[in-house]
């Protein structure tokens, strides 16, 4: 008769497969209607007219190119996901131009300041540095608006619109955030340079500002722009780019009679440019209304429906959990969604709201699935290694030691069932919290993870690895019985682990959806295992399972769900 724990797991699994996986919280037609409304709104905005010089490579197999306005208009017969692809590709290109313009002009101002520093021109240096600091800070609002657009586009679930679509355009959301993050940092520093040419510290402070800006522009800023250029292969630019630095330098030379410093001229131009970009590439494209969280908005996203609880309460629950300190240890992990490699840092960057809730809840569940799958694989690999060592002892005919080792190992294995029980219940509870959508392929991934956890719990608790036989007294007449059962335990459990690890569909899915799951918690195969440290090696399993519960359940606040 199976233990009560197994009955509980079976019942929960039945609930999971018959209820949670078949309830669609947002129907694809409802989601499509919302995004169609967004597309219709965007297509009517005057801002897209300014991009008529751009052409989209709609089909790489042909030479046919389209103007963005023709792609996204209501009369276009192009499917909705492709329309959003065109918008993403176009904005990736245009926003990359903004970054290039910013980098070129800021670098030039910084070089002018550096020249003043080298020539020891104190008054000019201080004025130039104040302008440099200010013009970087002033770009903050512009970059934040561009980022908000990209972040919104990155949170569209295209698979819910088109299951057969294989590839997706990827918004340059993290690339834009690089500049948002830097401008926020500069604003927080709020460096004040007191104009006092006689104070040596003033000159030092000014030079620090120059070094800091140059370090970012020539380092991370330049590298980010180069990465964007590699991705921009879907847009053809028919005209000479606008806002080139060389054009501004020509204009500056033509106004030399006004006796304006280059840094002053360029900083004034940039401040006007920031406003123009915010107007043309944010407001005039219609994103101000799309990103409006006012419940009175006509472009409100569909609401997830739950029993006995509102979506607002679900969002609050999710935000409460992700505020726990343990999430900081996951920031180096990446998951894949709609061809985007999404870091945990991006997932946690903003709290859940009505606009991002649909994707954020999926990201959180997918992240936990990735971690738990990795834990399972590490556990399987470690136990198989220990089992193989036991077999080496048996081959050497050291049966007394062999039986003792098998007893130690399975005693540890039995003590790890709490980890699997909590792992399973956490996945079920998390799934119920966020309302996993069955249209997403990751739902089948969840079934596979839960199925594998169920199998190992069933196997360990089946009674086929009873410790009573191995723990019996040392009566010689029972030695052969204990040896028989020890061999049986090792053989059966080893075959179970190897078969399920090899045959599980999780292998390919995990590799595809979880490209970077470097956990802070590891259970490393010992470089050398012997008679003296075998007991410690088995005890590592127990420590590993306890640490798992602490790090990947309690410290993430997921224990509040159970």
**pLDDT for the residue 11:** 44
**pLDDT for the residue 398:** 82
**pLDDT for the residue 195:** 52
Neighbours of 258 (CB within 10 A): 8
**pLDDT for the residue 476:** 55
Backbone angles phi, psi at 97, to 5 degrees: -65, -40
**Looking at the DSSP assignment, which residues form a beta bridge with residue 57?**
65
Q: Is the pLDDT of residue 455 over 80?
A: yes
Task: Over range 56-78, report the average pLDDT.
Answer: 80
Task: Identify the residue whose tokens are 């309690």.
Answer: 554
Distance CA 86, CA 42 (A): 12
Distance CA 76, CA 80 (A): 10
Task: Over range 271-289, report the average pLDDT.
Answer: 96
**What digits encode the pLDDT tens for the residues 21-32?**
434 467 888 999
Distance CA 515, CA 124 (A): 51
Q: What is the rounded end-to-end Cα distance, in angstroms, of the chain?
A: 26
Task: Over range 314-319, report the average pLDDT.
Answer: 92
> In this prediction, what percent of the chain has a pLDDT beyond 70?
88
**pLDDT for the residue 193:** 56
Distance CA 27, CA 43 (A): 24
Q: Is the pLDDT of residue 131 over 50?
A: yes
Q: Would you call 30 exposed, middle or buried from its count of C-beta atoms within 10 A (0-12, 13-18, 19+)?
A: middle
**DSSP designation for 254:** H
H or E, element range at 54: strand 54-57
**pLDDT for the residue 510:** 87
Neighbours of 513 (CB within 10 A): 21
Which of 332, 306, 323, 281 lies closest to 176, judged by CA?
281
Confidence of residue 7 (pLDDT cuts 50, 70, 90): very low
Query: Which has the minimum average pLDDT: 165-174, 204-213, 251-260, 407-416?
Result: 251-260
**pLDDT for the residue 242:** 79
Distance CA 562, CA 555 (A): 14
Distance CA 434, CA 440 (A): 13
Query: What is the value of pTM for the model shown?
Result: 0.89
**pLDDT for the residue 106:** 97
Q: Is the pLDDT of residue 528 over 90?
A: no
Task: Over range 50-60, report the average pLDDT.
Answer: 77
Distance CA 90, CA 235 (A): 7
Task: Over range 176-180, report the average pLDDT.
Answer: 97
Mean pLDDT of all residues in the chain? 87
Dihedral sign, Cα of residue 445, residue 450, residue 456, residue 458: negative
**Looking at the DSSP assignment, which residues form a beta bridge with residue 55?**
236
Q: Is the pLDDT of residue 442 over 90?
A: no
Task: Over range 213-226, report the average pLDDT.
Answer: 95
């Amino acid at each position: 008769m199976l233990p009560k724990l197994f009955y509980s797991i079976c019942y929960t699994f039945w609930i999971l497969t018959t209820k949670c996986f078949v309830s669609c919280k947002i129907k694809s037609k409802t989601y499509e209607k919302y995004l169609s409304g967004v597309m219709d709104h965007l297509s009517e905005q005057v801002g897209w007219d300014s991009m008529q010089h751009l052409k989209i490579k709609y089909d790489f197999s042909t030479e046919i190119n389209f103007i963005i306005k023709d792609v996204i208009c209501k009369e276009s017969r192009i499917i909705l996901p492709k329309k959003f692809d065109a918008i993403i590709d176009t904005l990736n290109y245009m926003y990359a131009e903004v970054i290039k313009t910013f980098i070129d002009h800021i670098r030039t101002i910084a070089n002018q300041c550096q020249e003043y520093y080298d020539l020891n021109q104190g008054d000019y240096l201080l004025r130039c540095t104040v302008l440099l600091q200010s013009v970087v800070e002033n770009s903050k609002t512009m970059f934040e608006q561009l980022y908000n657009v990209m972040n919104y586009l990155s949170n569209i679930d295209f698979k819910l619109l088109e299951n057969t679509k294989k590839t997706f355009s990827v918004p340059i959301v993290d690339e834009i955030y690089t500049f948002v993050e830097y401008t926020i940092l500069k604003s927080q520093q709020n460096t004040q340079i007191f104009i006092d040419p006689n104070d040596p510290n003033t000159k030092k402070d000014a030079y620090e500002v120059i070094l800091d800006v140059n370090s970012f522009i020539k380092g991370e800023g330049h590298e980010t722009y180069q990465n964007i250029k590699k991705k921009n292969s879907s847009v053809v630019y028919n005209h000479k780019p606008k806002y080139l630095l060389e054009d501004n330098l020509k204009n500056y030379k033509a106004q030399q009679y006004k006796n304006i410093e280059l840094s002053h001229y360029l900083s004034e131009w940039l401040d006007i440019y920031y406003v123009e970009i915010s107007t043309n590439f944010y407001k005039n494209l219609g994103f101000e209304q799309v990103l409006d969280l006012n419940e009175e908005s006509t472009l409100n996203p569909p609401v997830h429906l739950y029993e006995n609880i509102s979506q607002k309460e679900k969002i609050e629950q999710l935000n409460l959990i992700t505020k726990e300190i343990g999430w900081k240890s996951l920031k180096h992990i990446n998951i894949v969604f709609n061809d985007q490699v999404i870091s945990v840092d991006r997932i946690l960057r903003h709290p859940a709201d009505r606009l991002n809730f649909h994707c954020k809840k999926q990201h959180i569940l997918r992240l936990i699935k990735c971690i738990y799958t990795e834990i399972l694989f590490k556990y399987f690999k470690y136990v198989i290694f220990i089992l193989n060592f036991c077999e080496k002892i048996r081959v050497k005919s050291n049966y007394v030691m062999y039986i003792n080792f098998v007893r130690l190992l399975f005693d540890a294995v039995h003590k790890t069932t709490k980890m699997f029980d909590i792992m399973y219940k956490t996945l079920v509870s998390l799934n119920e919290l966020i309302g996993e959508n069955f249209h997403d392929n990751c739902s089948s991934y969840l079934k596979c993870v839960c199925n594998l956890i169920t199998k190992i719990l069933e196997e360990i608790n089946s009674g086929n690895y009873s410790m009573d036989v191995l723990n019996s007294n040392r009566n010689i007449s029972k030695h052969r019985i204990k040896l028989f059962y020890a061999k049986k335990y090792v053989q059966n459990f080893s075959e179970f682990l190897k078969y399920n690890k090899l045959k599980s569909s999780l292998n390919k899915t995990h590799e595809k959806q979880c490209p970077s799951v470097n956990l802070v918690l590891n259970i490393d195969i010992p470089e050398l295992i012997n008679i003296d440290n075998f007991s410690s090696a088995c005890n590592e399993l127990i420590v590993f399972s306890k640490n798992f519960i602490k790090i990947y359940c309690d410290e993430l606040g997921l224990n509040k769900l159970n």
